[in-house]
Structure 1
């Protein structure tokens, strides 16, 4: 594998799957990023493709997202895969391409909203003190920055749960709307959980848009978990 350094702390890397623009230091990897999978060796591929049951006289390709081998028809789509930092669209199987399409919408729209931030009434732990602060995602996607009269940061990898708060009818119902966020996390250097509550500030439309984008992050995490379960079941059934 060869690489050449480029500005802004990133480097261009050539892998079997294509060109990737990755951080020079692993410490700056986005928590949204995915590791490039190992390709399933040709000798370990079943005599017939498990997805479509075609024989290996068909052209075969490896999906750049899951690393499994498919016939040409089942692995024909080339889509952007920003979570693996590919420069160009790459070949993906039918199942992975559906996930990548959903993620593409997040990168094109919701991620920009999260980086822009929203204004909230912030309460930390059981304190009665509330402060108006701007909450935004850091440029490297690793922290939530909260800025007001004070400033503090929450590292995303130390968040154990995120709940979108709603008001109106039942959560998710037609009359409900996102009104805040409840975050459970462990501060740096501590093993004790801390609660962070963000409520939308009056007359701040940006806060509602920011919450909607964060809700999309949660939905994508659930979708990825379901896809992982599906892929594991396919692998087990082929053995």
Structure 2
């Protein structure tokens, strides 16, 4: 059923569910046997179609289950506060109409805000109107969703060292389909499966060859340099993650070192690291919004 403006639901998915706490050896939603029921997963990943003033959006039914890389819609500058285009200063009149950029919320004339570009971080179904400053940013982000996100979902093989481990474990690390968890799977039971909630990641450090150790990412500081797999002389060989876990004090740390796949190549792992580097930037941008 189609509803009104302002984020009202158009169609609803399955029912509600509580947010599962991640970052431990088992997510809270998992059963004692280590397998999450399909019913719980369906509730957690349910989405709904909503109509906002900016257009149709496919959003999580429960906000707590949204992608950590997402952005909230910005408040629009009130029409009465922008008699002129905020880019070229053209005065609005009957012939020169004002338009709001869906990414920044500022108002512009059609010439300065005539591009319609996909904006997946805000879950828009169709391309939406954006200003000349925001459109290139959204296009660059589209590359992450078109190429790098697929790499993260596919996963890669790493040697994983936990802070209390004496030796690394060979594990496949991948991003969950809802983008909320890093899933690490190895052989055997017990420590053979770990989950890290992406939203709880506090710092990321790239480990490189060819240059001194890479930049450290934090909630307040982002690197200006590009990761090795995207350009430059250094080559990414690993990554250290620091994250919080429910009920524990301080930060937990693990280190991923590029491992060989079935063909004896580390190419998939290094590409995954570069994609995760980009994902970390989007994560911090979402927090700083």
Q: TM-score range by the shorter chain?
A: 0.7 to 0.9
2:60 to 14, 18, 23: 23
Is 1:56 the counterpart of 2:92 in the alignment?
A: yes
User: 1:198-237 alignment to 2 at 5 Å?
Assistant: 198-202=256-260, 203=264, 204-220=266-282, 224=285
Q: 1:143 — aligned with what?
A: 181
Q: Which runs of 4+ in 1 moved over 4 A?
A: 170-174, 219-222
Q: 2:235 — aligned with what?
A: 177
CA shift for structure 1 position 24 = 1.2
> Hey, which of these two has a bigger chunk of helix by percent?
1
Cα distance in structure 2, aligned partners of 1:49 and 1:19: 25
Q: 2:11 — aligned with what?
A: 4
2:163–2:252 CA contact under 8 A, matched in 1: yes
Please, what TM-score do these two structures have when normalized by structure 1? 0.86
Cα distance in structure 1, aligned partners of 2:125 and 2:147: 19
1:158 to 184, 189, 200: 200
User: 1:101-112 alignment to 2 at 5 Å?
Assistant: 101-112=139-150
1:156-201 Cα shifts (integer Å, max 9, x gaps): 1111111111012445584421100011111122231111100011
Q: 1:78 — aligned with what?
A: 116
1:34 to 71, 83, 88: 71
Q: CA RMSD in A?
A: 2.2
Q: 1:133 — aligned with what?
A: 171
Q: 2:156 — aligned with what?
A: 118
1:109-156 Cα shifts (integer Å, max 9, x gaps): 000000000100000114322100000011111111111031111111
Q: Which runs of 5+ in 2 are unaligned?
A: 15-41, 215-227
Q: 1:232 — aligned with what?
A: none
Aligned partner of residue 270 in structure 2, secondary structure:
helix
Cα distance in structure 1, aligned partners of 2:91 and 2:54: 24
1:190-223 Cα shifts (integer Å, max 9, x gaps): 231111100011333211110121122245567x
> Hey, which of these two has a bigger chunk of strand by percent?
1
Aligned partner of residue 164 in structure 1, secondary structure:
strand
Cα distance in structure 2, aligned partners of 1:6 and 1:107: 23
Worse-superposed segment, 83-92 or 36-45: 36-45
Aligned partner of residue 190 in structure 1, secondary structure:
coil
Q: Which has the higher contact order (CA 8 A, sep 6+)?
A: 2
Cα distance in structure 2, aligned partners of 1:90 and 1:6: 24
Please, what TM-score do these two structures have when normalized by structure 2? 0.72
Q: Which runs of 5+ in 1 are unaligned?
A: 229-239
